[in-house]
Structure formats: structure tokens, C-alpha cells
Chains A and B, each alone.
Chain A
Amino acid sequence: MKINDVILHTITKLVVFIILTFGVELFLSGHNNPGGGFIGGLVLSSALVLLFLVYDIETVEKGIPLDFKKVAALGVLFAVGTGFGAVLFGAEFLTQTFGKFNLPVFGETELATVTLFEVGVALTVVGTVVTIILSISEDV
């Protein structure tokens, strides 16, 4: 379904980047503020859904040549894999840890392994949502 609407197109181009940035921000701030993998992933996928609605699927696929099924699978592997990561260090499955590090630009930053787990969650959410929407819309 192709909607020929210049205003919509122009605004979408702008808005999509705002949403994507917002999604990333939500994802990163998740540990201390509202946000996290699930919401971040959902926001990212809503940006993609908007793109699919405004432009047609082929155009978007040309711009973002990702197989979203694989993105989702990668996400699941990531989430489960980080769980096993803990086992390698002799801890229980899915144990998370954190520490404060001095990074060049950011100064003292807290890094937590839970972020890796959340990456998995976010990827799965993006992959699954987009897969479902694409499957349904392509079916018609």
C-alpha cells in the first residue's frame, strides 16, 4: 500500500530519526531510568513500522537490508548466551554483574553485564514485531 503524501513523507523522515534516537536513549538509560531492552526495542520497532506504513515495503527493505527473522533469532541467542556466560565464570546461570570503569570520554561510567542481556531482549523484540507485521502485510 503506497500512500502518496508529501507532508507525511517529509515529516516521517525527520520523525523516524527522533524515534530511533529516543529508542536508543531509552535502551541505554534503562538501568537507572525508565526504559530498558523491552521498551527500547518496541520504540525502535515502532519507528520501523512507521517507515513501512509510509513508504512501501520494497523501499524500506532496500534501505534496511535486514532479515528480521535473523535479528530475532540473534536476539534470543544473545539473551540465552549471556546466561551461559555466567556459567563459564563459575556463577549460576543468568547471574549478572556490574562495575564502575573510567572511560576516556564519558568519565566514570557504570557498566553492567545486564546490558548485554538487554541487547538480546531488544533485538528479539525488534525482530519479532517487524517479522509479524511484515508477514501479515505481505500476505495481502
Chain B
Amino acid sequence: MLSSTRSTRRTAARTLQASAGVAAIALALTACGGGDGSDEGSSEDGPITLKVATFNDFGYTDEMLAAYTEEHPNVTVEHVKAATTDDARSNMTTKLAAGGEGLADIEAIEVDWLPELSQYPDLFTDLADPELDGRWVDWKVQQATTAEGKVIGYGTDIGPEAICYRADLFEEAGLPTDREEVAELLGGDGSTWEDYFAAGRDFVKESDAAWYDSSAGTFQGMINQLPAAFEDPETGEAKDLGDNADVKAIYDEIVGSVDDDLSAGLEQWGDDWVAGFQNDAFATMLCPAWMTGPIEQNSGGIEGWDVADVFPGGGGNWGGSFLTVPASGANTEAAKELAAWLTAPEQQTKAFETSGTFPSQIEAQDSEAVQGFTNEFFNDAPVGQIFSTRAQAIEGAPYKGAHYFAIRDEVTNALNRVDITKSQDAEESWDEAVEKAAALG
């Protein structure tokens, strides 16, 4: 009798342990699965809240969003802003990977994320809409269109590139300072990179400052002019970097300019780069429309910045964003409507006025508000007009596939090893990049 009770107790204890374990697992499961489908089933006419997630500064003010609610009384718009693109990107990719839970109804993305996201078109709502044909410049729509013809994002801003320069440093070095003369100095309409670097060699002879800020940044401007830098557009396969003569030629040209002390040897966005603005470290930099903001922020107290209406090697686009509607959202139709409204010419013109993001809408670019816009910090340069001329010079978007960033990063690292850390010579560093690009597989 005694022994039997004891064993009963033991069994009971074991059952308890088991049920505690089950409870723990159940808890874990509910914790993971919690909140599934909580927002579903709201009808088109019922009151809904749409979340818009952006980063940096898209120029979407509270007044603008309130204006949308006035037109659509059942829609409340909530704006979530991430501080940096990196934050926004890891937030978005992680949530996409988790099945879309927690994503905003409209997620802003940068053009750089597209090659990766367009591999998974099912994650996004198709935004193609015949009514919106001709709203954007062609290549902007092309960028967000997948191979199967699905449009995954509406274009917001673009980054047409000009050259920003320090007129005061130009004057000290005996170069012309007026923005039209500077444009001529750099080769005018037919400007080439050779002209740009030649002017730089003249400049550094007469000045303590370097010609440009960062070799990796300059490389970015040059590589964007190749129609297909690292991959075969037909197959999407990576080209062998060792045999890539176009890229090697650009690499050699930049490394040569580094040898002639044209580069300030700074890493863009790094602490030294930020400090360099205050220390007269460099006289020019490649200047997409949105770069005027960071230049002004970093150059507090420095006078002399100006924008020349010229870009070596033809036009170039650097950056720009899109609004996407994740397919997992509860109100994708309403979100699509809001995204179309936000990227309409009127709204993008206002955004340009508030935060300097240059619109990708043809009508907005031609609008008086954009054309007549001047920037006080850049010596009252007519930046609206300059950047729309630069935008017209852009011929199309270069092909960027799934391998693009991995390979580009290896070449950028190679440049940084020569330019910033000075740990390798040019050939050695290139060979390492070729080797690493091959290992990416």
C-alpha cells in the first residue's frame, strides 16, 4: 500500500512536469502567433487607419496627411518615421521574413533595395494602374517593374546628380568661381571624367584641399553610368570581375587620381567626412539633389558652397525612393489609393519645397514651384532648374540584379583599402576584390 502511494506520487509529479512543459510550449506558441488577423475584415467604407512608414525626411507633413483625411473622412493616416535607411531596411526585411506581421500599410523603400525585393514580387501588391501612365519619368517606373511586369512601387523622389563645389576654395586656387564658368571648366555639356580629374589636378597644385571627398563616392557616380556594370542583364548572372574591363578602367582612373592626391581619403558619412566639411578638406563632390541637405547640415558656418549645372560622363542618378504596399496588409486597396495620392505631382512638389527631395513626376518637375526654387545656402543657386536639367540628362536606369551590391561592395572595399586605410597598393587590392567577388558564388 505504502509503496503504491509513493509511486502514485511519483507519477503525479511526472504528469505535472510534463504539463508544465506543455504549458511552456503552448505559451511560446501563442506568443509567436499572437495578433494574427486582428485587423482583418474591415470594409472599404468603414473607418480605417493606414500606416505609412518612411525614413530620413520624405517631406510628408502632418498638414498634408490631414488633407487626405479631409478628402477621405473614413481614413486616418499614421506616419511612422525611421531615422535612417538602415533601420528602415532591417525592420522591413525582418518583418517580411516573418510573414508580414507588423508591417505598415505603405512601406517606403530605397532604390537600392529593389534588386533584392523584386525577387519576391508575391510579397507586394501590384500597383500597375493605367490611369497613372506618364506620371513618372520612364526609367523610374522601369526600376520598380519586375521581370514579369509587376509594378511594386510608386516613385517618390529621384537623385539627379550635379557637381557641388566650394567657390571660395576655387578662388584661392585661381580657378573661376561663377557657376556657369565652373560648368565650362569641367567640360560643359560634353563633360567627361577626364575633364573633371584634369581640373582637379590643376586645383590641388594650388591648394591644400583635396579635389573630391571620397573615392568610393566618386566611384558610385561613375559606375551608375554603365548600363550593366556587374551582371549580364539577359541572364542575371554575375560577370567575372577579373575580366570586367569597364569596371577595371573606372577603378584605374580613380586609383590614379588618388595617387595624385585628388581624394581627401574620407569615408562618406563617417566622422572624418563630417568633420572634413568644417576643415576645408575638399573642394567638390558629386551632388545628387538630396545631398544638398547633408552638405548644408555639415557645413554650418562655412560659406562658399555652390552648385554647377554639369555632370561628367553625361547624366546620372543616385538614389531615390518608392512607396510599396505589402501584400500582407489588411487594406491594400485603400493603401494603394493613398500611395498614388502621395506620389501625385502636387504632393511631391510640396515635399520638394519642404525637404528638397527632387520629384520623379514629369508634371512636378515642370511646375513653377520646382523650376523657380532657389537654395539660399548654395549662393542662391537655382537648384530647381539645375536639377531638372540634370534629370533630363539621365538616359535610363542601369541594370542591377541580385549580385550587384555584393560585387560593388567588394570593389568599394578595394578602393577604401587604397584610399582610406592605405593598407594595400592598387593592384594587390584589386586582385583581392576579384578573388572575393568570385567567392561570393
Q: Do the two chains bind?
A: no
